[in-house]
Structure 1
Amino acid sequence: MVEDGHFWTETNWVFIEVETDEGVVGVGEANWTVFRARTVVQALEDMERFAVGLNPFDVETLRQRMYNGNHFLHTPGVVQSMVIGAIEMACWDIMGKVTGQPVYNLLGGKVNDRIRSYTYMHYKWMPPEPPEKAAEAARHYVDKGFTAVKLDPVRPKEGPRNPRIDELEYAEAAVAAVREEVGNEADILIGTHGQLYTHSARRLAARLEPYDPLWFEEPVPPENFGELREVVDSTSIPVSTGERLLTVHQMAQAVENGVRIIQPNVGLTGLLEARKMAGIAQAHYAQVAPWMYAGPIAGAASVHLCAAIPNYLLQESLEGWNGFHNDILEDGLEWDNGDLIPPEKPGLGVEFDRSVLESYAGEYRPESS
C-alpha cells in the first residue's frame, strides 16, 4: 500500500551496527522479520559471540563460525540466516569504509553502471479488482520509467491450492490487459508466492504464455525441487525462484532443476553467499534478479551485488525507493527513470539520518511480549 509516496511492507526492520576496536562502524539489516522481530533480536544477542574479536575482513571465517559453530546450528533456519546476513552486511560496510571503496569493488568491481529495476503493481492494483485497473496500474509505473512490472494475477490465499476455472480466466484477463496496455514498453513478471499445486501452475502457465511474461516466479512452494522441475519442463516461460532459499546448496538445486532466473534475498543469504549463488547461476547461463521487499540497508547491499555480477537481470524495487525508505537515510539510493545508480561512497554508501530514524524506532521489551 502507498499513501503520499510512502509504502508499507507489513514488517519490521531490525538494523544493527558493528563497531571495530578502531571505531569504524558498519551497518546491517535483518530484513525478513515479520512475526519474528523479537526472536531475531534475541538471536543476534545470542550469536554475537561468534563475531566478537574477529577481523571484519574475514567474512568467510565469520560465516563458517556462525554456520558451523554448533552442531545444532549446521542446517540454518530463517532466523539464523537473517542474523548471519545482517552481521556479514555490516562487515562489508566496514571493509569498504576502511579501504575507501564501495562494496561492489570488493566483490570484483563494477560491471553495471545502472541497475534496471521493477516494481510490484500491488501498490496500485490487487485481485479481485477489475483487469482494466491492472492495465491502469501498469501504465502508471511505465510512465514513471519502469520497463518491467510484476503482478500476482491469482488472488492471494494460503497454498498450495488449485484455483477454480474462473480464477484462471481472471488471471489471464488481467495479464492480457496489462500486455495490451504496455505493449513492448515493459516486461511482465508473474508472481504466485508458491501458492499453486504443480498441475495448477502448469494450467496457469499455459494460459499466460501468449502474453510473453519474462518469468513465472515461485510457481510452487520451494521445498520440492522435483515438482518445480515439472513446471519448468511444461512451459516456455522462464521459471524463477530464490527468495526463500537460504544457502548456496539450495540455490544450486534450483538451478540444476531448470531455474534460469534466481532471486536471492541478500539480507537472508548474506552478500558472500549471494555472490556464490550468482556464480553458480552464471555457469548455467542463468541470471540474477534479487528479491528486495525490505529496508534500505539490505536494499543497498543488493544493489552492490547487482553492480558486481555480469549475469544480473533485474533488481526488485519498492516503487522509486522514495518515502520512508529514503527518509531515514542521510543520502538515499539514487533511482533514475527506472534504474538504480550504484553509490560511489565507501562501504554500502548509505548512512542513517538518526533524527528521523529514532523518531520511528521501536524498542524490544521482553517483559511486554
Structure 2
Amino acid sequence: MAIKDVQTAVVEANYDWTFIKVIAEEGTGYGECFFAPGLTALIRELKPLLLGKDPRDIHRLLRILRTAGFQAGPQGGALQHALAGLETALWDLLGKVLRVPLYQLWGGAYRTRIRLYADCHAEAGLHSLSSTHLPRVPWWQSSSGTTKVHLEVDPKHHGGLKEEAKRVDPRAYGERAKQVVSQGYTALKFDLDIPTPYETDPFNRNLEPEEIELLANIVEAIRQSVGPQVALAFDCHWNFSAGSALKLAQALAPYRPLWLEDPVPPEADEALALVLRQSPVTIATGENHYHPHQFLRLLEKGLTVVTPDLQKVGLNQGRRIAELADLYTAMFAPHNIASPLGTLASAHLAATVPNFLLLEHHGLEVPFFTELVSGRESPLIQEGHLILEPQPGLGVSLNEEVAYRYRKKDEPFFA
C-alpha cells in the first residue's frame, strides 16, 4: 500500500476551504486545512516526502513532515494547518480501507449526536473573508464574476469594515438569534468585537464605557429574544485588554452567557490568568494555540473551556488536548469554521472524548454547505446536532463537482 499522489483544491466560501486529497493504491482520503496565505504551495512542497510511503504510518509520516517543514513554523501557522489537513486525509483513507468510521478507529463513541452551536451574525447574507482576513464578495456572488476584496478595514476588528459602525442595532441581533433557534439550535455565538460609534482608538484594546453599554444591550436583546434555555456564547477575537475584558464580563454576567471567548491576545498568558481569576463569567480560549503544552499552561492557570481548532492542531493533537482538559475537569469545545468535511472530522473526535461540550458550526449562510459532501442518506445536521453514521472513514466523500462550481479560480483544483 503506497501513496500515489497528493492534490489540493480551494473553495471560496465564507473562508477559503482548503481540501487535500491523498490518493493511494487502495483508495482515496480527504482532509481539510485551516486557511493561510501560501498554504497550497506549502503542501506541494511537502508532497514528495509522502509519495511511495505507506499511508497507514500516520504518526511517523507526520513526524517526518513536521521535521522537514521546521522553518515554516513548528509552533503554529501554515505548516501546522497543512499537517492537520494531511492527517485527516490519512485517517479518512485508513478508515475506508478498514471499513470502519473514524470514531471506531479511536476507541468508539460516547455519543454520535454531536451538539452544535451556531455562529451567527446580526445581518443576513454571507460574510466572507480572504486568506488575509479582508472582507470580500466571492466571485460566484459577484455580478462581474470576479472576487471583490475590500481593502479599507478597521484594524481593531475581525474583518470588519468601518462603515458598519453606523448600523449597530441590538434588535437585529435578537431577531437573528430567534431565526437560528427556530432551525433547532439550542446554542448560539455572536461576535462582540464589532465596530461601534464610540471607539476612540483602534489599537489600544480599550473599551469605552459607551461601547460596553452597547454590547451589553446587544446581549440583553439576544437573551430576551431566545429566553433562558438557549446557551449564548460571545466572541472577542483577542481584541481587548484584561481590564476591558473584565468590565465587559461584569456587564454581561446578568444575562448568563455560556462563555466569553478569546478576550485577550493569545500570547498574553498572564493577562488571561488575571481574567480567569476575576471574571464572573466562564472564559473559553484556544483556537490560536497549537500544542498540548500550551494548553497545559492555560489549564494550570484555571481555564475551564478549551477551544482548539482541529483544522489547525490536527486530530491526534486534538485528542491529547482533550485528554489534558479532562484531567482538569475542563470542557472540550472545538472551534470550527470548516466546510462539512472538516466539521465531520471534528465531530468524529468529539464523539470519542468524555468531556465534549459543543462543536461550532460556522456555515449557516453558505448556500452550498450541505451539497459539498455526498454519501449520506440522511441530513448531516438535524435539530442543531450533527449526526454521525457508521460509514467508513469520515462517512462522506467530497462532492468534487460542487466544489469545482465554487472553486477559488487562482488555485489548482485537485491537480
**Same fold by TM-score, threshold 0.5 exceeded?**
yes
Correspondence 1:192 to 2:192: no
- Counterpart of 2:290 in 1: which secondary structure? coil
1:111-260 paired onto structure 2 within 5 Å: 111-122=110-121, 124=123, 128-156=167-195, 161-260=205-304
Alpha-carbon contact 1:113-1:307 (below 8 Å) kept: yes
Query: What letter is aligned with 1:270?
Result: G
Per the TM alignment, residue 32 of structure 1 is displaced from its structure 2 partner at its CA by 2.1
Distance 2:398 2:348 in 1: 18
How far residue 182 of structure 1 moved from its aligned partner, in angstroms, is 1.9
Alpha carbons of 1:119 and 1:112: their partners in 2 closer, same or farther (altered >3 Å)? Answer: same
Greater Cα shift, 58-67 or 327-336: 327-336
User: Aligned in 2, Cα 1:365/1:130: closer, same or farther, shift over 3 Å?
Assistant: closer
* Residues 1:257 and 1:51: Cα distance change in structure 2 (over 3 Å): farther
| Shift in Å, 1:364 | 4.2
Match of 1:359 in 2: 405
Q: Contact conserved, 1:217 with 1:239, CA < 8 A, in 2?
A: yes
State the match for 1:31 in structure 2. 34
Give me the whole-angstrom Cα distance separating, in 2, the residues matched to 1:268 and 1:49: 22
Aligned equivalent of 1:274? 318
Matches of residues 315-326 of structure 1 in structure 2 within 5 Å?
315-318=359-362, 323-326=367-370
- 1:73 Cα deviation from its structure 2 partner: 5.3
- 2:135 matched residue in structure 1: none
SS in 2 for 1:324: coil
* Paired residues for 1:76-87 under 5 Å: 76-87=75-86
Match of 2:347 in 1: 303
Give the superposition deviation at 1:122: 0.5
The CA deviation at 1:177 is 1.6
SS in 1 for 2:19: strand
* Structure 1 alignment gaps of length 5 or more: 1-7
8 A contact 1:153–1:172 mirrored in 2: no
C-alpha contact 2:389 2:395 (8 A) present in aligned 1 = yes
Q: Secondary structure at the match of 2:22?
A: strand
Matched, 1:343 2:382: no
Identity, % of aligned positions: 31
Which of 12, 16, 31 is the aligned partner of 1:12?
16
**Distance in 2 between the 1:365 and 1:51 partners?**
21
Cα distance in 1 between the residues matched to 2:69 and 2:112: 41
* In structure 1, distance between residues paired with 2:333 and 2:122: 20
**Kept in 1: contact 2:207–2:244 (CA 8 A):** yes
Q: Which residue of 2 aligns with 1:288?
A: 332
Task: Report which of the two has the higher share of strand.
Answer: 2
Q: Return the structure number with greater helix share.
A: 1
Secondary structure at the counterpart of residue 386 of structure 2: strand
Q: 2:408 & 2:224 partners in 1: Cα distance?
A: 45
Quickly say closer, same or farther: Cα 1:362–1:155, change in 2 above 3 A.
closer
AA in 1 matched with 2:339: G
| CA positional deviation for 1:359 | 2.4
CA contact (8 A) 1:93 1:347 kept: yes
Q: Within 1, Cα distance between the matches of 2:255 and 2:49?
A: 50
Q: 1:27 to 1:161 in 2, by over 3 A?
A: same
Amino acid across the alignment from 2:87 = E
Root mean square deviation, CA, Å: 2.3
Cα distance, 1:243 vs. partner? 1.2
Decide which moves more: 277-286 or 246-255.
Answer: 246-255
Q: Any idea what SS the aligned residue of 1:139 has?
A: helix
Matched residue, 1:63: 62
Asked whether the equivalents of residues 14 and 363 of structure 2 are also in contact (C-alpha less than 8 Å), the reply is: no
Which deviates the most, 132-141 or 217-226?
132-141
Where 1:312 maps in the other structure, the secondary structure is coil
Hey, what's the Cα distance between the residues in 1 that align with 2:352 and 2:187?
A: 21
Contact 2:69 2:79 in 1 (8 A): no
Q: Post-superposition shift, 1:71?
A: 5.4
Instruction: State the shift of 1:301 in Å.
Output: 0.5
Deviation for aligned residue 1:272: 0.6
Task: Give the CA deviation at 1:269.
Answer: 0.9
Maintained 8 Å contact 1:40/1:79? yes
1:156-213 superposed Cα distances (whole Å, 9 cap, x missing partner): 5965611111110001111112222222220110110011011110111111111111
Assess, with a 3 A threshold, how the Cα gap between structure 1 residues 159 and 105 changes in structure 2: closer, same or farther: farther
Asked if the contact 1:31–1:295 (Cα under 8 Å) also holds between the matched residues in 2, the reply is: no
1 CA distance for matches of 2:357 and 2:282?
Answer: 13
Residue 4 of structure 1 is matched in structure 2 by none
> Which whole-Å deviations, capped at 9, do the CAs of 1:305-362 have from their partners, x for residues lacking one?
1111111000101355973122222246611111110132100112122222222223
- The two structures have a TM-score, normalised by structure 1, of 0.89
Q: Which amino acid aligns with 2:78?
A: V
In structure 1, distance between residues paired with 2:321 and 2:269: 16
8 Å contact kept, 1:242–1:251: yes
Distance between the aligned counterparts of 2:13 and 2:304, measured in 1?
27
Letter in 2 for 1:315: L
| Structure 2 unmatched ranges of 5 or more | 1-11, 125-163, 197-201
Cα contact 1:59–1:88 (8 A) shared by 2: yes
Label 1:321 to 1:92 Cα distance change in 2 as closer, same or farther (>3 A): farther
Q: Residue 144 of structure 1 aligns to which amino acid in structure 2?
A: Q
